[in-house]
A and B are shown apart, each in its own frame.
Chain A
Amino acid sequence: MSQLLFHLPPFAADYSGVASVLHDLGGLVVIHDASGCTGSYTGYDEPRWFTSRSSVYCSGLREEDAILGNDEKLLDNIKRVVAEREFFFVAVVGSPVPMLVGFDFAGFANLIEAETGLPAIGFTTSGMPYYHVGMATAFKVLAERFVIDQRPPTPEGVNILGASPLDDFDAATLDAMIECLASVDIKPVSIWGQRSGLDAINRAAGASVNWVVSSAALPLARHMQERWGIPYVVGLPASPAATEQLLAALRRSANGIITTGSASARPTTSTNGSNVDICLLGEQLRMNSLRIALRCERPDAAVNVASFFSWDDGLAESGDSGLDGEEHAAEYLASLSPAVVVGDPLLRSLLPSHLQSRFIDEPHRAISGRLFRHSLVHRFHAEGARFASELLEAADAAR
C-alpha cells in the first residue's frame, strides 16, 4: 500500500544499496535510469562519491528507448566503456521505468556476457524497497558468483559482513574495527560493504568466522554458514565490555569452539520492571549493540529498538518493532512514551506533540543522506560507553 510521507524524505532506495555494495569492487556499474536515480545515489546516498573513481554510471534512459525497447543502445554504450578500460564485471541495476516496461535484466546480463566476455549481473531493483533490500541482494549475488569454493583456508580469518557507508561505516570506523580484531590476532579476509576488492571477496570462503555488522548482511551470513560452514557472530563493539564479549565470541567461533550464534547483540536481561525508558530508532543491529552498551552500564535498563529497515525477529526483544511508515512510527512512540528517543535528527518530527520525550540525534545516512555528514560518530568502545552514559543521564533527568 502506498505511504504518505509528510515529514520525512523517502529513504535510500534498493538501487543505492546495490550500487554501494559494488562501489569498490572494480566493476562497471550501470544504473538503468534517466538521471535522477543515479543522482540520488551519487549525490545523496554515497559519501565516497566526491573522491571516487569508481565506474558507476547512468544509462541515460530516454522515453523512446523505453517504449521501443531499444536495448541495443545500452549494450553499445556498455561495450564502448568496456573497450576503454578493464573491468572485473558488469552490473546493470534497475530503476522504476525498467521495472514498468519489464526489462529483462537476466537476459540482458547474458547478452553482455556473450558480447564482452565479462561476468555480468542484472539487478531487478525498482526504487520502491529500501536500501537494505538492495544490499542483501547484492551480497547474495556476490557470494554466489564470486566466492570461490576451493579456497585456501585462512585460520583465524574473519569476513566483516555489511560494513556499508549507508549504515555510516566510514574509513576510520573500519580501521578501528580491524584494530580491534588485531588485538586478538584475528585478521580480516574480506569486508563486505566497502574497501575490499573482488580478490578479497573471492577468498571469503576461507574465513573461519563471519562478523555481521549490519542486519542487511544476516541473509549473507546464513548463506555462508549453510554453504561453507562458516559460523557467524552478530554485533558491534559498542562499549569496552561489549567489545570484550564480542571479541571472545569471534575467537571462540574462529577456533571452532562454537559453530554459530550471535554474541553481543543478544539481550542480556528482560526489559520488564525497569525504570528507564529509551527508544532507539535505527538500523536494528547498530541499535541492538547500543542497547548492550546501555545494559553494561545499567543491567535493568528498559530499552526498545525500532527500525524502518531490515528486521530480524530473532534479534528483537519484546516491545521492539519494525516500522512501517511515519504514522506507524508516531503511534509506536506514543505507545511507548519513552523518556529518551535516539535516532536520525529527521525522525524528531515524528514525536507526537503530547510526548515530553527528549530526542537525541544519531544521524543515519540512509535516512538523511548528506545532511548531517559532519555529525556522524560511531559509538564504539569508549565512545559507545560515553554515549550510553549520556543517554542514561538524559533518561534519569527526564523521569
Chain B
Amino acid sequence: MKATALEQVQQTRRNQGEMRIADLIANPGALLGSSATGACLHYCAPTHGGWGVVRTAMLVPELYMLFVCPSACGRHGAIAAIEHGCKDRVGYLCIEDHEIVLGNYEDEIRNALPALMAQIKPAPKAFSIVVSCIDDLLGTDYDQMLEEFEDTYGIPFRLGRMNPISLDGKLPPGKRVQRDMYDLLQAPLSRDRSIALVGTFQPIAAESEIHAMLKAAGWQALRHIANCRSFEEFQRLGAASLNLATRPEGLAAAQNLLEKYGTPFIFAPTSFSETGILRRYEDLAQATGMAVDCAENQAQLRVLAEATRDEVGDRSIAIDGSATCAPFDLARALIEAGFNVSAIFTEKLPDFERPAFEWLAVHAPDLKVALPVSPTNSWRRPDTPTADIAIGFTAAYLTAAPHVVPISFDEGLYGYHGMSMVYQALRQSLSNTQSESLEDMVNAYGLVI
C-alpha cells in the first residue's frame, strides 16, 4: 500500500532522528529504544558519556581496579580517572592479540598481580578485576582465580565488566557496575533505621524535604556511598533496612541485595512534575511509613516557578536525557508551569516515564523528540541556536543554545527541592552567557564514555 503524504513526512523525520511527540505516541519504538538505535549508525556527540565504569566504581572507598583488556579499551577511563583525581586507584594490564587468541591472559593476570599489589600504597581494601567486551565472547571463568587471590591477599576480589557490547541487554554496564559495587557489602550483623540510596552518583541535596519527612517517620539517615570515607564506613550501607533506587542504574544492585541479604527496596525515580513528585512520595510513604503533607512545599515551588517564568519568559528550552533520567517528566513540569519546552533529546522511554510522555503527547503535541545518536546530527547541527536554553550538555551541543543549565544525572535532585534547584539553575543560566565555553564545561565535568 502506498504511504500517505503524512506517513512519508513521518518516515523522513524518523530517518532524520526526530519526530513530533504527537506522531510518536502511536509507536514510540520508531524513535526510542534499542530497536530504533539499532537501526542507525551512532553519532557520538562530544557531550556523550556519563560517569562511566571507573568513576562510578571509584565511589567505593579504598577499592583498586585493574582493567585487563586491549589498551584502547582503557584509555577513556584512565584519562577520566586522572581528571577526577583517582588514577592512583586504577591500573591497566594491556593484553595483546596472541594472549587473547591463545586464551592465556589469566596467566598474565597471575604474573602481574604480585608486582602490582606491592606497588599500591596504601594497600587496597577491595579489588576489582575488570574485563572488557571481548571477554563477553570468550566466556572466561575467573571464579577460581578470584578465590585464590582472596586467600592470598585477604581482601575481597570481584570481577567487573566494562562491556558496552551488552548495552541492549538486561544488565548493561551502568547497572552492572553498581550491582558489583554493592555486592562488596558484607552480610549485615544487624539492621539500623537507615535507608541506603542506590543508583544516583551523588547524595540528595541536604536541603531536600525528603530528609525531614523520613526523620519525622523515625528514620535515622538516608545514606549514600559518596559520603563514605572508608571501606569500613561503606559497609554501614549494608545495615540499611531499606534501599531506595532513584535512578534505574541502581535497580540491579537493589535486587541483588534483596536476594542476598533480604534487604527490601523501592524504586522511586526522580520526578519533577507535581503529579510525579506526589506519586513518588506516596510510594515512599507506603515503604517507609512517612507522612506526605507537601502543601507547603508545593506552594513554595509555585512561587519560585512564577518568578523563574517571569525571568525566562518565552525562551525555548531543550532538555536531554543526560540531565535527568526523567526528561519527559521534567518537560511536563516546566510546561505545566508555563515554560516553553521545544525539544527533548533522548534514546529511551522507560516505563516510569510513560505517564509524562502520554501527557505531553496530548498537551504539547508539537514538542520535538530527537535521538541524540542519529547520524544526521553530525551535519545538521545548527550554526545558529535552535533553542534558547539547554538543560543538559547534549541538548546544549545539539541546539547551540546560548544558555546552558549544567544539570547532570539528577545529581542532588529529588522532590520539590529538586525542582527548585532546576528553577534556580535556569535563572542562573541566563546570567552566565558564554562565560565558559561548552567545551570547557564538559571537560570540567569530566564526562566519561
Chain A residues engaging chain B, CB cutoff 8 angstroms = 1-6, 8-16, 30, 33-40, 42-45, 49-50, 52-63, 66-67, 73, 76-78, 80-81, 84-85, 95-97, 99-101, 126-128, 130, 346, 368-371, 373
Chain B residues contacting A58 (CB-CB under 8 Å) are: 41-42, 44
Chain A residues contacting B307 (CB-CB under 8 Å) are: none
Q: Which of B211-257 contact A (CB under 8 A)?
A: none
Instruction: Using C-beta atoms within 8 Å of the partner chain, give the interface range for chain B.
Output: 35 or more
Interface of B is mostly: helix
The CA of A45 and the CA of B449, in the complex, are separated in Å by 13
Chain B residues contacting A1 (CB-CB under 8 Å) are: 96, 99, 108
Contact B79 A39 (CB under 8 A): no
Q: Known interface pairs A10-B78, A55-B378, A96-B132. Does A78 touch B72 (Cβ–Cβ under 8 Å)? A: no
Q: Interface 1/0s, chain B 397-409, versus A by CB < 8 A?
A: 0000000000000
Apart from A2-B99, A36-B162, 4 more pairs, CB < 8 Å: A36-B132, A58-B42, A63-B169, A80-B40
Kindly identify which residue among B41, B79, B169 contacts A77, using a CB–CB cutoff of 8 Å.
Answer: B41
Chain B residues contacting A80 (CB-CB under 8 Å) are: 15, 39-41
Contact B49 A127 (CB under 8 A): no
- B442 nearest CB neighbor, chain A only: A50
Chain B residues engaging chain A, CB cutoff 8 angstroms = 15, 37-44, 46, 48-49, 69-76, 78-79, 81-83, 87, 91-97, 99-100, 105, 108, 112, 115-116, 119, 132-134, 136-138, 162-169, 373, 375-376, 378-379, 381, 438-439, 443, 447, 449
Contact B46 A9 (CB under 8 A): no
Contact B46 A49 (CB under 8 A): yes
Contact B134 A30 (CB under 8 A): no
The CA of A3 and the CA of B168, in the complex, are separated in Å by 31
- B438 nearest CB neighbor, chain A only: A50
Nearest Cβ in chain B — how far from A353, in angstroms?
A: 12
Kindly identify which residue among A10, A35, A38, A50 contacts B167, using a CB–CB cutoff of 8 Å.
Answer: A35
Contact A9 B44 (CB under 8 A): no
Chain A residues contacting B449 (CB-CB under 8 Å) are: 35-36, 39-40, 43
Contact B376 A39 (CB under 8 A): no
Contact B82 A55 (CB under 8 A): no
The CA of A80 and the CA of B39, in the complex, are separated in Å by 9
Nearest Cβ in chain B — how far from A45, in angstroms?
A: 8
Nearest Cβ in chain B — how far from A138, in angstroms?
A: 16
The CA of A279 and the CA of B169, in the complex, are separated in Å by 50
Give the top 6 A-B pairs by smallest Cβ distance, nearest first: A39-B449, A127-B72, A9-B78, A13-B72, A10-B71, A34-B164
Chain A residues contacting B447 (CB-CB under 8 Å) are: 43
Contact B165 A43 (CB under 8 A): no
Contact B41 A12 (CB under 8 A): no
Chain A residues contacting B71 (CB-CB under 8 Å) are: 3, 5, 10-11, 13, 127-128, 130
